Chains A and B, each alone.
Chain A
Amino acid sequence: MRFALTTDQLAFRDAVRDLLAKERYDDRATWDALVDMGVASVLVPESEGGLGLDEMTLVPILEQTGYAALAFPIVETAMVAAPLGLADRMVALVDGQLAAWADRADVVLAGDGSEVRQDLLAPVEAVDRSRPVRRIGRPLPAPHGDTIDRAALGTAAQLIGLGQAMLDLTVGYVKERQQFGVPIGSFQAVKHHLANALKELSFARPAVYRAAYSVATASTDASRDVSMAKAMASDAASFVGRVALQCHGAIGYTVEYDLHLWLKRTWALSRAWGDSSWHRDRVGRAIGV
C-alpha cells in the first residue's frame, strides 16, 4: 500500500507547473511547449512514439493545467484522444451539443469517437471567453462509457487545480488587503471560509488520484471511482470559487482582476462531462443505493 505519487510523477508534474507559471495560459506557443514535453502523448505506447506512461502520471499534470487555466483542450487531447491514436493532433470533443476549443482544434470528435465536420459547428457565446464553444445542430451518437470516464477524470483533475489556484490567490490577497487597520486575513470569518475551502479541496484531491489509479489499473470500480472524483471535485471547486469571490469582495467582481478566469472555467468544467448530481447518482447505483 502506498498512496502517493512517485518521484518521477512529481518531477514531471513540477516541470509542467514551472512551464505554465512562466508562459501565457492562452498562447499557442505554450501548447506547443507542452506537446514537446510529451504531455499530449503520456498515454501513447512507446512503440508509437509516446511516453508509455499511465493516468497516474497524467492526472497530476492535468491538475496543473487547471491551476494555470490553460486555454487549450488538453484533457480531450491527452486523456481521451491520445489512447485512440490521435496524439499528434489537438482534439476537441463534443459534450452534449457543445464543443469547447473547436475553433483551434485540428479535429473535433463526437463522444463515440467519430469525427464531426467543422462546418456543422456554429460559434455560440460562452461565459468563459478563454474557452470558446461551438454548437452542433444535430443529434450525435451517445458517447462511449470510456470516453465519459476519461473526460470526467481529466476534468476532475483540472477542477482540483482550479480550486487550488483560487485558494492560493485568495490567501495571498487577504494577507495583503487591509481594513480596520489590519489584514482582512486576520479576521475569523475570513479564516473560517478559507479553512473550509482548504478542507474540501484536501479531501477531493485523493478521490481524484484514487480514480486515476482505478482507471490505470482497469479496476472494476473505475467508473464508480471516477464519478466520486468528479462529483467531489465539481463541488469542491465550485465551493472554493464562491469563497474566493466573497473573500476578495468587489475586486473579485471585475474582469480587471484575474479571479474571474478561474471562476468562469470552474463554472463550465464543474458541469462538463456530468455535473456533480449526475455523478453522485452514478455512484449511488454502483453502491446499490
Chain B
Amino acid sequence: MDLTWSPDEDAFRAEARSWLVANVPHDLPSGDTREGFARHVEWERLLYQNRWAVVSWPEQYGGRGASLWEWLIFEEEYYRAGGPQRVTQNGIFLLAPTVFEFGTPEQQERILRRMAAADELWCQGWSEPNAGSDLAGITSRSTKVDGGWVLNGQKTWTTRGAFCTHLFGLFRSDPDSERHKGLTYLLVPLDTQGVTVRGFGRLDGDEGFAEVFFEDAFVPDGNVLGGVNDGWSVAMATTGSERGLTLRSPGRFLAASARLIELYRSATTVGGAVESVRRRVIDTWMRAEAYQLFTLETVTRLSEGGAVGAESSINKIWWSELDVELHETALDVLGPEAQLEGAWSKGYQFSLSGPIYAGTNEIQRNIAAERVLGLPRR
C-alpha cells in the first residue's frame, strides 16, 4: 500500500491544474442544446490543441501517453476546476477503447485523431424501441451487398444524436440469428443517405435525445469494427470501461461533494431537519471517497495486469446512486429555491438518468449476482 503520488505525477497534476484553472469556461450553456453543443465543441477543441483531450492515448493520436494514474489525476483536476461534462465522452470513453482493441490500423488512423480533435463527434446506437435492457433483442438489420452493408431499422435514446456527426451501433447481420449471435458492430456517418435523425427533449426539456432511422443506408466494409457477426463481444468490451472505470471518474463526485459541502455551509436556512441533512452531506462525502478508494484498487489491479470484470456492475450502481443522493441532498439544502432552474436542479435531473443508462441498475444487480456471486441464471 502506497497512497502517495510520485514527483512526476505531482508535476503532471500541477501542470494540469494550472492550465485548467486558467482555461476552464464557467459560462457554457447546456451541451444538450444545439447552441450549447457548439460552444462545448469549441472547448473540446481547445482541450485537444493543448493535448488535454485524451491524456491517456498515445501521442500519435493527440494524447500524452499518460498512465491510468495520470488519467485519474487529470479527471480529478478537471472536475475540481469546474470543467463541464464532456460532450465527446461517448466517443473517447466508449468507442475509442474498442477501436484500440479491435480496429484495423487503417481504422485507427482514420477515426482516433479526428475523434480526439472533436472534428468527428460520435454517438452510441445500441438501444432500440424494443431493445433496451434486453439489448440482445436488436432488430435493426445490416444486409450484405457488394462492398458493404445496407442498414434498415431504428435506434433510439441516442444521446446528443441530433448534434453528432457519426454513430457506432449494433445491427443484425445474420437474419437467421437470434439474441447475441449474428450482430455486427458498424460505424455510420450520420450524413449517409437514408439516415434520418430526429432530436427530442429529455426530462429537462433539452434536445439531448435522438432517434435515428435507417432506410437502405449504405456503409462500406471498412466501417465494420471487429468481425462480422461478432458484434456482441466487440460491444461488450466497451461496457466494461463504461461501467467500470472511465465514464464516471471519482473526480467528478469528489468535486460534486465539495460543492455540496460549500452549499451546506453557506446555507442560511436548511430545508427540513438540519441534523438529518447534515448526516446526508457527510454520507455522500464518505461515499465519494469510498468510490475514489475502490477506483484506486481497480487501477492498481489493471496496472499489474488484471482486468475490469463483472464487479464493474456494482461500481456502476454505486456512482449512479451516489450522484442522485448528492443532488437530492443539495435540493433539500436549497429548500424552495430548488424549484428554480439552476446548476443543482439541472444536475439533479441528469443524475436521475444514471440508474437507467449504461445498463439499468436492475440489470447490473443481475450481472453482479450471477457473475460475481455465481447465482443461477434461471
Contact = CB atoms under 8 A, between A and B. Distances in A.
A1 B366 contact: no
B3 to A, nearest CB: 6
Interface string A191-213: 11011101100111011011011
Judged by DSSP, the binding face of A is helix
A175 B69 contact: no
Interface stretch (B115-123, B200-208, B236-244, B292-300): B292-300
Contact of B369 (A6, A195, A231, A280): A195
Interface in A168-193: 171, 174-175, 182-183, 185-186, 188, 190-192
B282 A287 contact: yes
B369 A207 contact: no
Interface stretch (B157-165, B182-190, B209-217, B310-318): B310-318
Contact of A195 (B296, B304, B373): B373
Contact of B296 (A1, A175, A281): A1
Interface in A78-120: none
B370 to A, nearest CB: 7
B50 interface: no
B52 interface: no
A203 B318 contact: yes
Interface stretch (B19-27, B40-48, B283-291, B337-345): B283-291
- Please indicate which of the listed interface residues A5, A194, A289 has the most CB atoms of chain B within 10 Å of its own CB: A289
Nearest to B289: A228
A10 B6 CA distance: 25
Given A3-B3, A3-B293, A194 B285 contact: no
A3 B292 CA distance: 11
Contacts of B5: 1
A210 B365 contact: no
A250 B37 CA distance: 57
Interface in B261-302: 261, 264-265, 278-279, 281-283, 285-287, 289-291, 293-294, 296-297, 299-301
Nearest to B277: A289
- Please indicate which of the listed interface residues B281, B314, B374 has the most CB atoms of chain A within 10 Å of its own CB: B314
B375 A191 contact: yes
Contacts of A4: 1, 297, 300-301, 304
A199 B372 CA distance: 11
B373 A198 contact: yes
Contacts of A207: 286, 289-290, 293
Contacts of B7: none
Contacts of A69: none
Contacts of A182: 376, 378
A56 interface: yes
B373 A194 contact: yes
A56 B3 CA distance: 12
Given A195-B368, A289-B265, A3 B287 contact: no
A10 B297 CA distance: 15
A288 B262 CA distance: 10
Contacts of A52: none
Question: Which of the four size classes fits the interface of chain B?
Answer: 35 or more
Contacts of A3: 1, 3, 293, 296-297, 299-300
B2 interface: yes
A232 B290 contact: yes
B265 A288 contact: yes
A289 B282 CA distance: 7
A22 interface: no
B60 interface: no
Judged by DSSP, the binding face of B is helix
Interface string A263-289: 000000000000001001101100111
A2 interface: yes
Contacts of A171: 373-375
Given A186-B377, A203-B294, A204-B290, A195 B282 contact: no
A288 B278 CA distance: 11
Given A4-B301, A191-B365, A192-B362, A198 B372 contact: yes
B340 to A, nearest CB: 24
B370 A191 contact: yes
A146 B321 CA distance: 34
Nearest to B67: A1
A75 to B, nearest CB: 20
A288 B286 contact: no
B325 interface: no
Given A192-B362, A289-B285, A175 B374 contact: yes
A210 B375 contact: no
A175 B9 contact: no
Given A206-B296, A209-B1, A210-B293, A186 B286 contact: no
Contact of A192 (B296, B301, B369, B376): B369
A277 B370 CA distance: 34
Nearest to A191: B369
B314 A202 contact: yes
A186 B378 contact: yes
B93 to A, nearest CB: 22
Contacts of B287: 203
- Please indicate which of the listed interface residues A1, A192, A204 has the most CB atoms of chain B within 10 Å of its own CB: A1
10 contacts: A4-B300, A4-B301, A182-B376, A191-B366, A192-B369, A194-B369, A199-B368, A202-B314, A277-B279, A289-B278
Query: Nearest 9 CB-CB pairs, A to B?
Result: A191-B369, A206-B293, A3-B296, A195-B365, A185-B375, A195-B368, A199-B314, A284-B282, A186-B376
